[in-house]
């Protein structure tokens, strides 16, 4: 992957291998999990996978964990059980995964909606909020048909309203806030490693 490709562009670049990205190898002064929160399209999975590589940690994606447990895609869980049913399953998966030490975990965009989830994130690890504007987020996910909440007549306006609803919740749990729009993936990872190494952990 092109080193000059921005993090924003790399999120939706097909046919590229993230393992081609140059990464640093670094250790953190703590073993508690690193949680990534943010809207759909923020780069939680793309950046999170490379951050885990750089730190020598396992990477987990909460949506993928749910799909593995249920044997179906997130979109189908929404279709069958609705958002309420999906959120209950999400909380159960987060309860288990958030206890695992030495991981980087990418949460779903709506994981912060439940107070119980926010408590788990805040108490059990270091939370990074990957932030981007509504216009940038829409540019990244406009062609993605696997976003149940965007299957509406006006997906751009829906995404904008979701961001307005969720941004205060992301801010409330974030230990580190990081803008994802201008740096390459590799640059973003390096910057995040430095931020994490300088972060003073107060969790048990």
pTM for this entry: 0.82
pLDDT surpasses 70 at 8: no
Q: How far apart are CA 186 and CA 125, in angstroms?
A: 23
Q: For the segment 28-82, what is each residue's pLDDT rounded down to a tens digit?
A: 989 999 999 999 888 999 999 999 999 999 999 999 998 888 888 887 888 888 8
All structural domains of the chain, each given as residue ranges with its CATH number in brackets, are 44-197 (3.40.50.300)
Nearest alpha-carbon partner for 102 in 201, 34, 25? 34
Q: For the segment 74-132, what is each residue's pLDDT rounded down to a tens digit?
A: 878 888 888 899 899 999 999 999 999 999 999 999 999 999 999 999 999 999 999 98
Largest Cα separation within the chain, whole Å, is 47
């Amino acid at each position: 992957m092109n080193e000059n490709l921005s993090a924003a562009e790399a999120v939706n670049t097909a046919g590229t291998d993230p393992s081609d990205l140059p990464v640093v190898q670094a250790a953190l002064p703590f073993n508690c999990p690193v949680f990534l929160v943010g809207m759909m399209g923020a780069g939680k999975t793309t950046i999170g996978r490379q951050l885990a590589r750089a730190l020598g940690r396992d990477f987990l994606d909460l949506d993928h964990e749910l799909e593995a447990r249920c044997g179906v895609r997130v979109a189908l869980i929404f279709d069958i059980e609705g958002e309420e049913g999906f959120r209950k399953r999400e909380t159960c998966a987060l309860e288990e995964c958030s206890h695992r030490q030495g991981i980087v975990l990418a949460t779903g965009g709506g994981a912060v909606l439940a107070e119980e989830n926010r408590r788990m994130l805040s108490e059990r690890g270091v939370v990074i909020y990957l932030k981007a504007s509504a216009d940038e987020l829409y540019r990244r996910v406009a062609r993605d048909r696997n976003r149940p909440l965007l299957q509406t007549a006006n997906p751009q306006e829906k995404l904008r309203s979701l961001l307005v609803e969720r941004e205060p919740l992301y801010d409330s749990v974030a230990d580190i806030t990081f803008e994802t729009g201008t740096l390459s993936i590799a640059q973003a990872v390096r910057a995040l490693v430095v931020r994490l190494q300088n972060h003073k952990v107060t969790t048990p």
